[in-house]
């Protein structure tokens, strides 16, 4: 059976995928904050990796068996979770394919959101869990939250990137559901067609046509509740560049993206430049999955 995501309420259970290193502390803090805000249970998962923990590396080097390594990981995860004022449970998995294990645990525990961390060591960025995060972004059935920044309270400045596709509509609806009582920025990056550069269509009029046409039609189709406030932002330029600049200049806390699109956001995110785009974003990023039918 495939569990569908609820259209009306935040998830009752969250999955934190952590390698137990200091780099995942920010993801842990955000997971605890969201679990508290949503009154949700947190499931903390570590897939055994001796390269991530000094204690495990030393134990592995002297030939210690997996059971001892698992016990070390269990102790460290319990220590990380201690003191959190939330309902949290632990899962420790033996070494294996991390992405597959995370997907399996998320499904078996009926988690509606998976969180993990990202660390950037170069100008282009590098996923904390390597290709695991990109694989999760491509194949995970649940929403995926990639945490980059420190937690300083609930998300407030939230941007939903849109190309006016059905996937973007699901992303906006999910964001309104997960984060009520916030003004949402609905962001679209456009490029003027070559025919418009030499013709009468100026950049300003091109953007105005989008705002009065596609943007209005898109919001009408979304059928948002009356109390949801959405502010449009439409800019001209290449998505990665203008979106990242806007996020930095306006101190955006969270960028939300759909999983598929006509153009733009997710065609880039799920393509060959996935690590580059998420690495460039100076904030957290939420990948929203479209609802799936129950079988």
CATH fold for the domain made of 158-287: Rossmann fold (3.40.50)
Cα separation, 200 vs 205, whole angstroms: 9
User: In terms of pTM, does the model score above 0.85?
Assistant: no
* pLDDT tens series, the chain, 295 aa: 334 444 557 999 999 999 887 778 999 999 999 999 999 999 999 887 645 555 555 555 545 656 777 787 888 888 888 888 899 999 888 767 888 999 999 999 999 999 998 754 433 334 444 567 777 887 888 999 999 999 999 999 999 998 888 888 999 999 999 999 999 999 988 776 655 555 445 666 667 777 667 888 888 889 899 899 999 998 888 777 888 999 999 999 999 988 765 544 544 454 433 445 566 788 999 988 877 644 4
> Residues 6 or more apart from 97 whose CB is under 8 A from it?
none
CATH classification for the domain delimited by 13-147, as one of 2.60.40.1930, 3.40.50.2300, 3.40.50.10490, 3.40.50.620: 3.40.50.620
Cβ neighbours around 110 below 10 Å, total: 13
CA nearest to 173, candidates 256, 292, 114: 256
The CA-atom distances, in angstroms, between 169 and each of 54, 77, 94, 143, 237 are: 45, 37, 39, 15, 22
Q: Are the C-beta atoms of 102 and 135 separated by less than 8 Å?
A: no
Question: 158-287: same fold as 13-147?
Answer: yes
Provide the residue ranges of all domains of the chain, joining segments of one domain with +. Answer: 13-147, 158-287
Cα separation, 256 vs 172, whole angstroms: 8
**Tokens 């934190």 — which residue?**
16
**Tokens 């597959």 — which residue?**
100
């Amino acid at each position: 059976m495939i569990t569908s995501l609820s259209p009306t309420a935040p998830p009752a259970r969250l999955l934190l995928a952590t390698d137990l290193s200091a780099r995942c502390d920010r993801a842990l803090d955000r997971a605890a904050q969201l679990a508290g805000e949503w009154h949700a249970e947190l499931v903390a998962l570590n897939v055994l990796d001796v390269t991530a923990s000094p204690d495990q590396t030393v134990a592995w080097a002297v030939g210690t068996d997996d059971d001892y390594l698992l016990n070390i990981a269990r102790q460290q995860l319990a220590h990380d979770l201690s003191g959190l004022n939330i309902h949290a449970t632990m899962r420790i998995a033996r070494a294996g394919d991390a992405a597959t294990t995370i997907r399996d645990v998320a499904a078996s525990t009926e988690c509606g959101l998976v969180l993990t961390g990202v660390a950037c060591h170069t100008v282009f960025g590098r996923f904390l869990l390597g290709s695991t995060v990109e694989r999760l972004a491509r194949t995970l059935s649940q929403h995926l939250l990639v945490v980059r920044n420190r937690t300083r309270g609930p998300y407030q400045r939230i941007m939903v990137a849109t190309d006016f596709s059905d996937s973007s509509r699901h992303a906006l609806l999910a964001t309104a559901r997960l984060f009520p009582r916030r003004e949402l920025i609905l962001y679209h990056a456009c490029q003027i067609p070559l025919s418009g550069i030499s013709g009468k269509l100026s950049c300003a009029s091109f953007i105005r046509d989008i705002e009065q046409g596609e943007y209005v039609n898109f919001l009408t189709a979304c059928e948002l509740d009356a109390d949801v406030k959405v502010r449009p932002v439409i800019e001209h330029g290449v998505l990665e560049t203008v979106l990242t600049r806007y996020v930095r200049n306006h101190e955006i806390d969270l960028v939300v993206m759909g999983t598929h699109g006509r153009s733009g956001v997710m065609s880039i995110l799920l393509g060959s430049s996935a690590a580059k785009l998420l690495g460039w974003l100076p904030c957290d990023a939420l990948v929203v999955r479209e609802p799936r039918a129950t079988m």
